[in-house]
Structure 1
Amino acid sequence: MEIKIIPTEKTTEVFKPTVGEKMNDIISRFELFLDQDEIDNLITETYHILSNCTNPKLLQEQDTTHLSVGYVQSGKTMSFTALTALSADNGYRIIIYLAGTKTNLLSQTTKRLTKDLIKDSSLNNIYKILENPGLAKVSEIRGKMRLSTKPTILITLLKHYKYVNELAEIFKSRIIQQELGKQGVLIIDDEADQASLNGFSYANSKKASVSDEWDEETDNKESSTYSSILNLRASIPNHSYVQYTATPQGPLLISIMDLLSPKSHTILTPGKKYTGGKMFFQDFPDLVISIPDDEVYHYKDNPLTSPPKSLKESLQLYILNVALITNHWNKVKFLSMMIHADRQKDVSRLFHGWVEELISRWATILNLEDGDIARIDLDNEFENLYNKETSKFYSEKDNVPNFSEIKPLIADAINDSQLYLIISETDATREVDWDSASSHILVGADMLNRGFTVENLAVTYMPRYTKSKSNADTIQQRCRFFGYKQKYLNACRVYLPTDSIAEYVEYVIHEEEMRNWLKSTESLAKVQQQLILSEKLSPTRKNILPYGIVQAKMKGWHAMNALQYIENNKLVVDDFLKVNNFSLYEPQYDTTDRNHKTVRVDVDKAIDFLTQFKFGNYGDTARKMATIRYLQYLSEKTEYPITNVQFIQMAYEREYRERSFNLLNLKIDQLFSGRSTTGSQVYPSDRGIKGEDTICIQIHKIKLKNHAVHKLVGKIIYTIAIYYPDDFATGYVSAQPEILTFEDDE
């Protein structure tokens, strides 16, 4: 088969991949279930991703980062499988997969790659795959690299700092360094918004406030994982880092912009049979059913003692769908149902018990004689529900059978149902034999979230809700009901609380808007700013700052540490100084170290400056994001809004000031010059150089120093300090009617 590459406007001229036998091989098998348009999209997008990576045949130190954005359950694995094949065709010797934070996701990725690239392939010995290799595997990796067939080595890795750091040590070993040299390595980060970035709770719905995270230096799971990824990247001289995610919106994209900094991006097109948020919450909203408020289980606020009516109805509807879709029409071999009640394991056990009791009772009743009263009552329940639902979702051309034809199949659907409780990692790693039964009912919570594939999912019952505004990425990653379900879409139902439905509708709107922004611009910085400022993207709105943040951290002076992205920040500051007319800050003092310049710029220009200015640590990135939201709030409040932000160019006459820094945490020891007396003048210290009527941002140009040898010693950098007048914090707190936090299910 001949593959024709369809170039896009974004295709870089730096690296033009070529298609070889490995890409041809995988595409020939994908053609069995994709049509030509879908194949063309897959090829074009895979080519676009790789063309934005480094050229592995240029044996030199180089690295880059690329962002690939898909939908939930839309085929991202297929994309990076194709990317693997094309990368292998073009000289990448090793491909690493950061395959999720749970062992079931790691196992799932390893098995999928093994099947698609090795077992089903007509080619021999072109790939070798290892899972979580430790230092003991160094010799084995070297041996595989020395094979005359020159296979591409695939390494699947649990996204945990222990395993990522161990792999970094493998690449640092002299054995691998000598063997690999500067040959190309590709790192694929699946679900790149999870753990790789989540150092603060804007990306972590399980924490109530970001206040504990801003100044964090401890090795918690998130920041340690992020640090280990940087360690891995630093150990490989020639590599590309490709991030895959379905939820880059809001703070996630902003975090990526600062902390892992993609240079380019690709929007992945789902297959034609994909049914996602737009399908459920816009095109066919009747597929989504509201759970009455008094039936929404909450272990504190509404601890139900018996199964709610909506749960019983959802289960009966599911059983009817199995009877119709699987047993009568034979459209699919099996269907499944997911019940996602609460993150508390005891709640999942409770719902599991209720479902088990209902299934058992119905099986017993359906085994009675037709004339039995209990049998008649249950038959009537099923018949009424069947007639109501089929008349609503099917037309005459569908040739829906009468209930009398379906009735004998209901007992089969019940008796052939497998029930699973999935509340531990052990449960999640135990494989479901989907073909063993016509019906599978899965009960659980967090283990059924991100990455877990529930095959042929038809009915979802999810009363889970949050007390406060949900994080978009969190609610979206619970959408196991998205996927390729066109064949039985009329049988799909999603039961949700009313508030959750509203959140999903809102999410779909801003997801589509975000994707349109990403498609229409090559500038991720521009998209980042649009995400921050958009009123529709509630997870990123300025007025959701928790009170604790404003009261404790948005007051007084805060010195920042911009010891990464030095060249980027130099360009940002130089351009800002050039286009704005600074004047002398009064009073002037007697030395060049204490004479400064100032300018006031519109709030939008200040936000643009902060958007472009980058930090490489969690605390300063979180502060930057919160400051942008705070500025938006202060500029839009009804009483006494601010109209500008004051910038001060510190010591403008000097080439730089010298400042020592800490090698361990990469923080400047003391950014501010202190109070001093020169002649009759008293310099109030750098902290006194400010105004009280608006936010003030000082721009500092400094030369880094330290007694030890370090690559940053002698570097000249720009960094900033931000002053928040105390009165603003008081006004913010008094103006807000209720406390908004990020707690989940508490």
Structure 2
Amino acid sequence: MASLMDSESNRHFSLKPKARRWTDGQAWVNWSRHEAYLRSHPRWKAHQVASVAEESLRIIAKTPPPGRPEFQCRGLVVGYVQSGKTANFTAVAARAADVGYRLVIVLSGIHDSLRNQTQRRLERELVDVGVNWITLTDPECDFKEPEVANGFGATGTVLVVAKKIVPILERLNGWLEKLEGQLADVPLLLIDDEADQASINTRGNRRDPSVDEDRPVEDESPSPTNQLIRDLLRRCPRATYIAYTATPFANILVDPGALDNRVGEDLFPKDFVIQLPRPDGYTGTEELFGVTARHRNVLRVVDPNDVRALKSKRRKKGEPLVVHGALDLPQSLCDALLTFALAGAIRVLRGHQGVPHTMLVHVSQVQKDQLRIGDAIEEQIRAWFNYDRAEPGAIRGMMRSSLTDFGEVQLPADVDAVLDEAVRNLARLEVVVLNSTTGDELKYEERPGRQLIAVGGNRLSRGLTLEGLTIAYFLRTTTMADTLLQMARWYGFRDGYDDLIRIWTTDGIAEWFVELALVEESLRDSILVLDKAGRSPDEMAIRMRAHSKLLLTSKAKSQMLEMDARSWSAENPQTILFPLRDATLLERNLELASELLRAHPPTQMAHGGAIAHDVPAHDIADFLRHYEGHPNSVAFQGGEIADWIQERAVVGELTVWTVFVANPQRERQLLLGGEPYGLVHRSLTGNEAIGILTDPRHEGVDLHGGPDRYRVAATFNARMMRQDRPPERGLLLLYPLDPEPLQAHARAVLGVALSLPRTSDDGRSFIVNRGLLHG
């Protein structure tokens, strides 16, 4: 930890000169060309390119210099669902090539559609504009072992974009196996897109037979995909693994100490976790379901009867499947279809011709349901036009009703023109059923102006971008928060049509998403705390807020999960156990207090002590981390409290502090921060323990009316003081204790206490990785 500063002109402990990065002075050839490509496209604004530049540099600087002899780096980058993670790792790959990584492998999901989409993008934005790239995959072909195994003789960087499935990973491992002994000079960057899918070890780890000879080793092997990824990394003496996901719950819960005797350490992001900034113009959970959603008109509630009408009933084995007729679409889905045609018309009249426009229909993971619903939608559209021929103007009337139900929206033309275009647009609608049976693709690049209704299940649940999405009809339920967030494909960038987003779903699912907005916010805050504290992920647990109805991830992926209700809301933690025999440690604590008081000198004498006002939270956190208590102390853990304070400060709580130093009028005094303070008398109640450290009146020294406002007979109500304390203000209490009654061989013994307000995490349940909770 950085030492406290002792400067009258600069009183913030953690103010440090900007640290040099090992990447400073690097020539960025590939990155510069990639950056020029981005700037040449009108959809990329200058500040967006600048953000990609800054974040990609921040990430590559977190990796070890590739020139080091050996390293195994593990990192995690957390983005938002459909928010530009691919743009970030493309930029990171460009920079990786520039700093000397010779092999870049991108594991892009488990479906061909996403892998092919990623391959095309990397070729267009990276390979075609860059220098010295050698590609071993193409848009039509996944990885196949090259005829000449060693492609690293020439200068350049080899690029592989592969599906994250066992057969492909086995081919990659087989290829690297043939290069054994030649990989010392081939630094590897492995980018794992959608890293919480398939990559997580849901089984065991083989133990070292020399230590656990009586334990079976084969039965404890890691799950196949996880094992193969770890084996890829193990084969390269210099390897960096960067996981990318918007739902990192499972990645954070990987066992940080897991080791397999054949494939090495697991994929816990021990070296860094980076939260990407919220992109400009992004529409996410907060906008659609959080506090800001109150001013939008997004949600439409689907009746439970409509849900039952669309899903196949559960049937016993041997029973025939009973399906609904093709025309039996519930009214809610009919309304959604008409609204989609209307939204497309508005977009066309706004000048959005020749760009994708998509509707999501995600009702069931059962392919028979998907096929039946796709057929029913096509039949319904035909039926509307047949009806319109018999009753001219019928569709126009339905569109007028849909426009009324749409709510307030800025129309680009008069109502009649909008309705005319909506009727024409209804005829343009195309239904695409996306599953392994149909083999259909979205084909945005080949036919960019399509008005698509995408019906599907698992293929729509992760990674694949639904471009121009406005209308979602979403009934898919799950028990896991990460799965639900990934299935919500309505997130992303909606420049010029953000006001047209409408979501049909059930009341229950909507409530899940409302709480998920809080879960996401809490997670990102905790990652920010980690960064501000300057700690690595294996030093400080990331706390994730539990969801009241959903698991954060599957039980198989969360074996290290531990519920952690650690909150010091409205509490008064204090030191009552001291290392009285360790004179050196006691002296360090006194010097720590002196440095704090020199940086923030008290300006007021009142209530039996000296008071310093408006001390920033990070200085208090630094002090608590440095303060060394008794090794057996349970009640007061300075490092854990410091982490919690910084976590609360991120959300606007405990941001400003008062420091109070008890100063009784006694002859025995001590210099702290250059000023004399009377020593406080406390007696031993045990070997190295005192009874109570704090004087209850001191908890009110900075409250309105002071301690006397809380006087009850001959004592003071400290609990009420904490209840009345503003949530943004904390109080640090320092007690320089007389060493004589404590039988301590030191100038004094520093006692520390805090008076804490009620904070918003009071009573909340949090989840942590138990491998880090007590570390």
Q: Name the TM tier (shorter chain).
A: 0.5 to 0.7
CA contact (8 A) 1:45 1:266 kept: no
The aligned counterpart of 2:312 is: 299
Task: Tell whether 2:59 aligns with 1:49.
Answer: yes
Q: Distance in 1 between matches of 2:337 and 2:393?
A: 19
C-alpha distance in structure 2 between counterparts of 1:416 and 1:541, whole Å: 40
Match of 2:97 among 67, 85, 88: 88
1:341 to 360, 363, 380: 363
Q: Secondary structure at the match of 1:260?
A: coil
Describe the shift of the 1:324–1:219 C-alpha distance in structure 2 as closer, same or farther (beyond 3 A). farther
1:286 shift after superposition: 2.0
- C-alpha separation between the residues in 1 aligned to 2:339 and 2:92? 41
Match of 1:356? 378
Q: 1:136 to 1:25 in 2, by over 3 A?
A: closer
CA distance in 1, matches of 2:281, 2:65: 35
CA contact (8 A) 2:252 2:542 kept: no
Instruction: Number of aligned residue pairs: give it.
Output: 517
| Residue aligning to 1:640 | none
Partners of 1:19 and 1:86 within 8 A in 2: no
Q: Within 5 Å, give how 1:180-199 maps onto structure 2.
A: 180-197=183-200, 199=202
Alpha-carbon distance between aligned partners in 1 of 2:248 and 2:423, rounded to the nearest angstrom: 45
Q: Which residue of 2 aligns with 1:110?
A: 119
Trace 1:306-455 onto structure 2 (pairs within 5 A): 306-327=328-349, 329-330=351-352, 333-366=355-388, 368=389, 374-389=391-406, 392-394=407-409, 398-424=410-436, 427=439, 431-432=443-444, 435=447, 437-455=449-467
Distance 2:636 2:551 in 1: 16
TM superposition shift of 1:545: 8.3
Q: Does 1:161 align with 2:169?
A: no
The residue identity in structure 1 corresponding to 2:408 is F
Question: What is the match of residue 128 of structure 1?
Answer: 135
Q: Identify which range, 281-290 or 188-197, moves more after superposition.
A: 281-290
1:474 match: 483
Q: Deviations over 1:713-742 (max 9, x none)?
A: xxxxxxxxxxxxxxxxxxxxxxxxxxxxxx
Aligned equivalents of 1:387, 1:352: Cα separation in 2: 27
Give the aligned partner of residue 461 of structure 1: 473
Alpha carbons 1:420, 1:443 under 8 Å: kept: yes
Q: How far apart are 1:433 and its partner, in Å? A: 5.3
1:220-263 Cα deviation digits (max 9, x unpaired): 9x8100011111111111111111111012x4411274531211
Larger Rg: 2
CA contact (8 A) 1:134 1:167 kept: yes
- Taking a change above 3 Å as real, the CA distance of residues 450 and 135 of structure 1, as seen in their structure-2 partners, is closer
Structure 2: how far apart are the matches of 1:414 and 1:22? 45
**CA separation of 1:247/1:9 partners in 2, compared to 1, >3 Å: closer, same or farther?**
farther
The DSSP-based 3-state class of the residue aligned with 2:137 is: strand
SS at match of 1:255: coil
Distance 2:186 2:555 in 1: 46
The alignment partner of 2:489 has SS state of coil
TM-score where L is the length of structure 1: 0.63
Q: Is the 8 A contact 2:106 2:192 kept in 1?
A: yes
1:363–1:414 Cα contact (<8 Å) kept = no
Q: Would the aligned equivalents of 1:66 and 1:265 in 2 still touch at CA under 8 Å?
A: yes
Amino acid at match of 2:85: K
Give % identity. Answer: 22
Whole-Å separation in 2 of the counterparts to 1:105 and 1:399: 35
Judge conservation of contact 1:326–1:333 (CA < 8 Å) in 2. Answer: no
Q: 1:194-227 CA distances to partner (integer Å, 9 max, x unpaired)?
A: 10005179xxxxxxxxxxxxx996699x810001
- Residue 188 of structure 1 deviates from its aligned partner by 0.6
3-state SS, counterpart of residue 153 of structure 1? strand
Q: Specify every segment of 5 or more residues in structure 1 that has no aligned partner in the other structure, as ranges.
A: 1-6, 202-214, 555-577, 582-598, 612-746
Q: Give the 3-state SS of the residue equivalent to 2:513 in structure 1.
A: helix
1:243 is the counterpart of 2:248: no
Q: Structure 1 residues 388 and 105, CA, compared in 2 at 3 Å: closer, same or farther?
A: closer
After superposition, residues 196-211 of structure 1 pair within 5 angstroms as 196-197=199-200, 199=202
Q: Deviations over 1:581-603 (max 9, x none)?
A: 9xxxxxxxxxxxxxxxxx99969
3-state SS of paired residue (2:189): strand
Unaligned runs of 5+ in 2: 1-14, 205-215, 258-265, 316-321, 563-577, 582-630, 644-775
Alignment partner of 2:135: what SS?
strand
Aligned to 1:232: 232
Give the superposition deviation at 1:181.
2.9
Does residue 266 (structure 1) correspond to residue 278 (structure 2)? The answer is no
* Residues 1:103 and 1:435: Cα distance change in structure 2 (over 3 Å): closer
Q: Which is worse superposed, 106-115 or 251-260? A: 251-260
Contact 1:126 1:152 in 2 (8 A): yes
How far did residue 482 of structure 1 move? 0.8
Give the SS at the match of 2:543: helix
**CA offset at residue 432 of structure 1?**
4.9
CA–CA distance in structure 2, aligned partners of residues 526 and 393 of structure 1:
50
Deviation at 1:441?
A: 1.1
**Aligned pairs for 1:682-721 within 5 A:** none
| Separation in structure 1 between the aligned mates of residue 156 and residue 72 of structure 2, nearest angstrom | 22
RMSD, aligned α-carbons? 3.8
Given the superposition, is the C-alpha separation of residues 526 and 314 from structure 1 closer, same or farther in structure 2, using an over 3 Å criterion?
farther
Q: CA deviation at 1:128?
A: 3.1
Cα pair distance change 1:134/1:307, threshold 3 Å: closer
Query: CA contact under 8 A between 1:23 and 1:86: conserved in structure 2?
Result: yes
- Aligned-partner Cα distance in 2 for 1:217–1:499: 44
Distance of 1:160 and 1:16 partners within structure 2: 37
> Does the CA contact (< 8 Å) of 2:142 and 2:163 recur in 1?
no
| CA distance 1:402–1:86, shift in 2 (3 Å) | same
Matched-pair contact (CA < 8 Å) for 2:30–2:98: yes
| Structure ranking higher in helix proportion | 1
CA contact (8 A) 1:275 1:486 kept: no
Structure 2 vs 1, CA of residues 424 and 526 (structure 1 numbering), >3 Å: closer, same or farther? same
Matches within 5 A, 1:487-636: 487-522=496-531, 523=535, 524-525=537-538, 528=541, 530-531=543-544, 534-536=545-547, 539=550
Q: How far, CA to CA, are the matches of 2:133 and 2:107 in structure 1? A: 21
Q: C-alpha separation between the residues in 2 aligned to 1:75 and 1:62?
A: 29
Q: Is the 8 A contact 2:145 2:171 kept in 1?
A: no
CA shift for structure 1 position 267: 1.1
CA distance in 1, matches of 2:499, 2:256: 40
2:284 aligned residue (252, 276, 279): 276
1:423 counterpart letter in structure 2? N
C-alpha contact (below 8 Å) 1:413/1:438 kept by paired residues? no
CA contact (8 A) 1:187 1:241 kept: yes
- What is the CA-CA distance between 1:129 and the residue it aligns to? 4.2
Residue 170 of structure 2 aligns to which amino acid in structure 1? Answer: N
Q: What amino acid sits opposite 2:313 in the alignment?
A: K
- Residue 437 of structure 1, CA deviation: 4.3
The aligned amino acid for 1:457 is L
Deviations 1:560-596 (A, max 9, x none): xxxxxxxxxxxxxxxxxx99x9xxxxxxxxxxxxxxx
Say whether the 8 Å CA contact 2:356–2:444 is kept in structure 1. Answer: no
Contact 1:291 1:497 in 2 (8 A): yes
- Distance of 2:170 and 2:59 partners within structure 1: 26
What does 1:52-67 align with in structure 2 at a 5 Å threshold? 52-58=62-68, 60-67=69-76
Q: Which amino acid aligns with 2:267?
A: L
Q: CA deviation at 1:299?
A: 2.5
Give me the whole-angstrom Cα distance separating, in 2, the residues matched to 1:508 and 1:464. Answer: 18
Distance 1:321 1:307 in 2: 20
Distance in 1 of aligned mates of 2:255 and 2:16: 24
- Indicate the SS of the match to 1:188: strand
CA 1:603 to 1:461, structure 2 compared with 1: closer, same or farther past 3 Å? farther
| Cα distance in structure 2, aligned partners of 1:326 and 1:483 | 20
Letter in 2 for 1:378: I
